[in-house]
Chain A
């Protein structure tokens, strides 16, 4: 497992992807920090970090890091080497995941020096600064897991990066989209049914099994309609609420801007990361069964 981790890490720095990623992230963070912390003499690093999310910097650059993780192995046929190694698949995927995470941690480690530098010239809220850096790490961990999962679905890394960015944009704007619908109960029901339907399509794409897909979207839709008929009031504004609750980016905003460290946000990111890593393992495992 360590061998794969080392090889992955190395490859990110031999093909410049890791360097470019670190440079871009640091450049963006540095720019926001210069604008907010220096030019506006605002001591809170949290705001500059939030700008990385707010201006979609993470959404755009992280997928470029994750796009090749699995897709490239498939394209180069090197996955057959990995499959024939005396290693379980989950170890291979975890090694790859942690290698990507390590690449992300390098620029973030540099960010850790910012509060110290600022403290020479004024008062810095260290707890707030480091808590937001910590949360940023876990947010990135969740995004990397999503990107790796998408990469495992495609052989072409360009398609993988486009789909990942698209997916993250949808997640990012989901709250806006959800809020733009009327809060009527029927709208919520339709929205939930659409989600169930999309879930069914995804299941079909992964399993190529019509029955499983029909069950995965059919059962929730039937359940939703039944629940709706029994209790309409629950559905009023429910979709927007659920979406807002589930939005990974909103949680970062709330925690950072309000200055409240929300431990559930941390747990939520870890859960997202775990779910998508697990789905990646399944998706790769499934390739052997098709």
Chain B
């Protein structure tokens, strides 16, 4: 379908794309993933003939984009980062123009335009001026434009950037439906987005391909650890002791402690465990043994962010970044000290425990709650049990949509709200 061979692009002395090669096969959705400035847009611009490569070759159905651009471009529909729309036209006029320019047969044009407008859901705004349309609709008009002329490959450069969450979900659905009978290549710097839509991913960093293959293979080959956020109606010490007693947990850290409306303390923790076990069950029983209710539990399928960071930057830099941007994750670094067995463990990481330092944990697990309080809250807890179980179930459902969201922080925020 599309073959990219040894593609290199230099802007002056800056190497934007460094000798990359990959193949795009028919009928899949590909995700071109990388941080900003990695060379995604440059690569796409070269594939679509908008930019010439410094060296290397792009073959589309056997036609070189450099030597036979007109023939090669017939197989491609392209939506650049900024939709190339003429503001003073209506979507209908614009699409009619694009269809004509793509040499769609004159008789077929009205039908073709009608079809793409229906598929992208812009029929309602077909006669409004493009400059008056919202960003989401413009993006749809852009996608409709790319679909005209029935190209075999549709290339979308960051199709969801700048859209609101509702629009993002709609555009993703649209892309998925496009992928049913066409090949789609989309670029993004948002990892969950790519993992939600794409069959195959190509990760680019600093102009080089660092990983290429089916989604699952990449995540399983690199790291088999899952992170789960849980919130429990219990004190920090209780949570700590229960989690420490579960041997399947690789490590965990307490991320938040608060008291709810009824004055019961709620503790949230981030738990790391091997992907091949179902920790939800174990945790549920562990807390029910001490009659503590789990109020939310959100598992991330795998720690994709970490894979991404691992691939796109050296690990040390990545960890620094996490520590800077994020307090919770900052504790990871203090936690790693704990693994190192450094002497200041007990003073510094009261809230962080690892299972393999269980001895330390036992030393500190002297519960200091008031038995009367405990009994009082226990009654309230009994009332909540049913409701909590419900919320547990719904949380699991939510976790899918949340996973499709932007980053770990969203997940946490979500957990806390509930």
Contacts and interface: CB of A to CB of B under 8 A. Distances in A.
A121 B192 CA distance: 81
A278 to B, nearest CB: 19
Given A11-B88, A84-B48, A4 B101 contact: yes
A79 B80 CA distance: 10
B102 A86 contact: yes
Nearest to B45: A80
A229 interface: no
A3 to B, nearest CB: 3
B70 A87 contact: yes
A14 B88 contact: yes
B84 A81 contact: yes
B69 A88 contact: yes
Nearest to B85: A78
B145 interface: yes
Contact of B100 (A2, A15, A82, A288): A2
Contacts of B89: 7, 11, 14
Nearest to A289: B52
A84 B101 contact: no
Interface residues of A, number: 24
B97 interface: yes
Interface in A266-290: 288-290
A169 interface: no
B102 A77 contact: no
B78 interface: yes
B84 A77 contact: yes
Given A3-B101, A288-B50, A289-B52, A85 B73 contact: yes
B70 A86 contact: yes
B98 interface: yes
A76 interface: yes
Given A7-B97, A85-B102, A77 B82 contact: yes
A15 B88 contact: yes
B86 A86 contact: no
B76 interface: yes
Interface size class of B (residues with CB under 8 A): 20 to 34
A82 B85 CA distance: 11
B74 interface: yes
B49 interface: yes
B63 to A, nearest CB: 11
Looking at A3, A76, A79, which has the most chain B CB atoms within 10 Å of its CB?
Answer: A3
A80 B78 contact: yes
B288 interface: no
Contacts of A205: none
A83 interface: yes
Contact of A7 (B50, B82, B84, B86): B86
B369 interface: no
B201 to A, nearest CB: 24
Contacts of B52: 288-289
A169 B149 CA distance: 46
A3 B78 contact: no
Q: Name which of A2, A80, A82, A88 has the most chain B CB atoms within 10 A of its CB.
A: A80
Contacts of A85: 73, 98, 101-102
Contacts of A288: 49-52
Interface string B266-290: 0000000000000000000000000
Contacts of B11: 290
Interface string A81-107: 111111110000000000000000000
Given A84-B78, A86-B71, 4 more contacts: A80-B80, A81-B80, A88-B69, A288-B50
Interface of A: 2-4, 6-7, 11, 14-15, 76-88, 288-290
6 contacts: A2-B100, A7-B101, A14-B88, A77-B80, A79-B84, A85-B101
- Name the 5 nearest CB pairs between A and B, nearest first: A3-B100, A81-B84, A3-B101, A86-B73, A83-B50
